[in-house]
């Protein structure tokens, strides 16, 4: 029985540590929960995200090892380890479900973000994406962003697509969101005197 608990702990604890250290999950929620795959595997990952499975495995293994170390009988150890694992997995699922439901970022339209003032949190190069932080409705939001030419520098006819700007925006630079398309903000540098 100890070997079973050790295997679950060895598989679950590193995954939980990885989820904690990885921090941001760019797919907008619980890591592993954004799988769009079909079939039985896709359905299982939607019902039981990878983070929930990792937490359940880790708590099952650690609880079993701890109870075994203090001399609890094998049947009692197994039952308690299963109960703790189910509770931990359920709590994880409920917590991330609450966070997804209460996330204000999903309910805002792209147009509502236009005109927002923020700052660069990951550098934006003229040809690549970076990340910005803006405050909308008293909530901090983070978006992928590209630098675009300001309307004054832009010489194309009205309605033409905006080109990427050749400049770089460094961390901390103030920006203005001009538009948001497919979740990516088009930003221009903001004159420091305006902020």
In this structure, what CATH number is given to the domain that contains residue 123?
A: 2.40.50.140
Residues 121 and 151 in one domain: yes
Q: What is the pTM of this model?
A: 0.47
Domains of the chain: total:
2
Q: Tell me, what's the pLDDT at 105?
A: 47
Residues 165 and 80 in one domain: no
Residues 118 and 73 in one domain: no
C-alpha–C-alpha distance, residues 158 and 139, integer Å: 33
Distances (CA, A) of 65 to 46, 84, 184: 30, 13, 47
User: Of 85, 102, 119, which closes a domain?
Assistant: 102
Residues 168 and 118 in one domain: yes
**pLDDT digit string (tens) for the chain, length 195 residues:** 899 999 999 999 998 888 778 754 433 344 444 444 455 555 555 666 788 889 999 999 999 999 999 999 999 999 999 999 999 988 988 887 777 666 544 456 777 788 889 999 998 887 788 899 998 877 788 888 998 876 554 444 444 444 444 578 888 889 999 988 888 888 998 876 655
User: Of 102, 131, 156, which closes a domain?
Assistant: 102
Residues 133 and 56 in one domain: no
Q: Of the candidates 131, 127, 178, which has an alpha carbon nearest to the alpha carbon of residue 23?
A: 131
66: phi then psi, degrees, rounded to nearest 5 = -65, -45
Q: What is the domain range of residue 70?
A: 2-102
Kindly state the tokens that stand for 140. 């901090």
Residues 96 and 117 in one domain: no
Residues 29 and 94 in one domain: yes
Residues 54 and 127 in one domain: no
Residues 41 and 73 in one domain: yes
Residues 93 and 10 in one domain: yes
Q: Tell me, what's the pLDDT at 49?
A: 76
Which 8-state DSSP code applies to residue 165? P
Residues 111 and 90 in one domain: no
Write b or e for each residue in 60-83: b if 16 or more Cβ atoms lie within 10 A of its Cβ, otherwise e: bbbbbbbbbeeebeeeebbebbee
Residues 11 and 75 in one domain: yes
């Amino acid at each position: 029985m100890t070997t079973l608990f050790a295997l679950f702990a060895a598989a679950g604890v590193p995954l939980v540590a990885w989820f904690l250290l990885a921090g941001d999950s760019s797919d907008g929620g619980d890591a592993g929960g954004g799988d769009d795959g079909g079939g039985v595997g896709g359905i299982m990952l939607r019902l039981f995200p990878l983070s929930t499975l990792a937490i359940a495995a880790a708590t099952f293994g650690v609880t079993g090892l701890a109870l075994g170390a203090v001399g609890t009988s094998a049947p009692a150890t197994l039952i308690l380890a299963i109960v703790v694992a189910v509770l931990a997995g359920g709590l994880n699922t409920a917590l991330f479900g609450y966070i997804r439901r209460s996330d204000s970022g999903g309910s805002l339209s792209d147009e509502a973000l236009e005109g927002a003032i923020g700052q660069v949190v990951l550098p934006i190069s003229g040809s690549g994406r970076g990340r910005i932080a803006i405050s909308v409705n008293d909530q901090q939001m983070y978006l992928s962003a590209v630098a675009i030419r300001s309307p004054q520098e832009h010489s194309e006819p009205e309605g033409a697509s905006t080109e990427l700007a050749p400049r770089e925006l460094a961390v901390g630079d103030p920006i203005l969101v001009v538009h948001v398309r497919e979740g990516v903000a088009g930003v221009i540098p903001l004159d420091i005197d305006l902020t």
